[in-house]
Homo-oligomer: A and B are copies of this chain.
């Protein structure tokens, strides 16, 4: 039966050997986070995840959440695990010290997200959403709101939500209808219906703090008329005691493909009391401050479930005896060979592993840029990191989740029929992972953001830092004989990547649809090129250790696999991008 072990060796390899984490922390204001402290924290969170959360993952899926007269019951054991999580002080790890947090860098929070989200992605949603809400509040809330709400959210006592989607608007927030009317006391009365609200109602915390996007009286239509409000489930007194139930209620929960332990709520606001967050009609801007973080957290789900799927599939492939190697019995003493001897099983496992490891390096690197953008003492470094984040965030969100779905599906395939039944957990991972490329902005939305709003709108200038990083890596790796071929390959791809962006820009001058037509292929191409970068980097780090330790050897083998067999996908996306929008746009409505 499957079990989860936090892959601390891989995590530390990326942090320490590949990304120089302890120097990074020194340079960005987290001087106390040395390798020993980080190690202790990760061991602690790993134990909690393995022992408290993972055992609830399958049972939470089976039981799901239940709704009764506005209350939502989470699966058995969720409450206890949440209490333990609070008692251990995990929620406020990367929160500001001023509001009771421990002030560790955001990047460490992302690493912790991997571990918690691998062990139990549905349970993790309750704490993950709170993080998003606190970020928006931190950046835009009044001092009064912050002092009242943030410490209680950082402690885990109260949780948070983001209320954006409505029945008729998901990607298109401009259509949003929820109203906010100014009351004589300066507060607002919020009315409307929100759907797909994760953790909108549950039984883990005494209060729930909704951040709600709504349209104030006489606000302009479209996205320019949106304002952010804080709407608590319970109105509280100055000491934070619950005083009065606010007029916000959960009218039902969704029945979904997966993530059954996470409540997905329809929330009705019936003149609920709300507080302005930020300025009127600046709601979208306020949301965007937390977008990078929320998107990276969501991206992690592709890695989380991909990692868990790989662990189970690799263990199964070593254990399951079925057929002989075509070369003849490899384990003649056994009734059949373990299926790991079969090349196609290895192809699947190595695909999973290569994508997971590339995704981890990409996500962690992106997380480090969040630290730099926020805390570097050097403003030019802050600016450079922000520019990289603008490009990396949509790539992480879409690429890691899309490949995560592929990895979890391969995880089912490796186990054959046993992958399809609930017993082994592989089918749950595929179901749980399938939402990741949808919520927090679909792959299509991320791709438009990347190509339209970032690359083309900046005329490529937002790419310059990343391009330099890629080229430096290539030049250095070309000096290493065993890696030079891969570096040359990567050099050709990076050049083609730049050329194709110019081609698309030219096409888009005449026809704006060219952006949408190219966007997803451009994003996936970018993702594979970034994987190429981090694979070169990881292989160099592995070569730098004069050891034949399994970890280093495994990095080198998997990297070879990546360059010989996976990076070809980049060429396919490049070739697809040669075609313009014509074949997409020619069919009339009746041809579909």
Docked Cα-Cα span, A203 to B423, in Å, equals 25
- Which of A168, A565, A588 has its CB near the most chain B CB atoms (within 10 A)? A565
A343-B517, A585-B346 given as contacts; is B409 within 8 A of A435 (CB)?
no
Residue of B nearest to A347 (CB): B584
Say whether A27 faces chain B, with CB atoms less than 8 Å apart. Answer: no
Interface of A is mostly: helix
- Pairwise interchain contact B165-A327, C-beta atoms closer than 8 A: no
Quick one: which of A363-414 are within 8 Å of B by CB? 405, 409, 412-413
- Which of A405, A412, A452 has its CB near the most chain B CB atoms (within 10 A)? A412
Residue of B nearest to A557 (CB): B587
- Pairwise interchain contact A175-B413, C-beta atoms closer than 8 A: no
A343-B584, A420-B257, A517-B347 given as contacts; is B427 within 8 A of A413 (CB)?
no
Say whether A196 faces chain B, with CB atoms less than 8 Å apart. Answer: yes
- Pairwise interchain contact B175-A335, C-beta atoms closer than 8 A: yes
Quick one: which of A419-442 are within 8 Å of B by CB? 419-423, 427, 430-431, 434-435, 437-439, 442
A413-B438, A444-B344 given as contacts; is B568 within 8 A of A583 (CB)?
no
Residue of B nearest to A221 (CB): B335
- Pairwise interchain contact A344-B431, C-beta atoms closer than 8 A: no
- Chain A residues within 8 Å of chain B by Cβ, number: 98
Say which one of A33-41, A207-215, A572-580 lies at the interface with B.
A572-580
Say which one of A3-11, A318-326, A474-482 lies at the interface with B.
A318-326
Docked Cα-Cα span, A356 to B368, in Å, equals 44
Interface residues of A, Cβ cutoff 8 Å to B: 165, 168-172, 174-175, 195-196, 254-257, 264, 314, 317-318, 321-323, 325-327, 335-336, 340, 342-347, 349-350, 353, 405, 409, 412-413, 416-417, 419-423, 427, 430-431, 434-435, 437-439, 442-444, 447-448, 452, 511-517, 519-520, 550, 553-554, 557-558, 560-561, 564-565, 568-569, 571-572, 575-576, 579, 581-592
**20 pairs across A/B with beta carbons < 8 Å?**
A170-B416, A171-B323, A195-B417, A196-B417, A264-B421, A317-B592, A326-B452, A327-B512, A343-B513, A343-B585, A344-B448, A349-B592, A405-B409, A413-B442, A413-B443, A420-B438, A550-B591, A560-B586, A568-B575, A571-B575
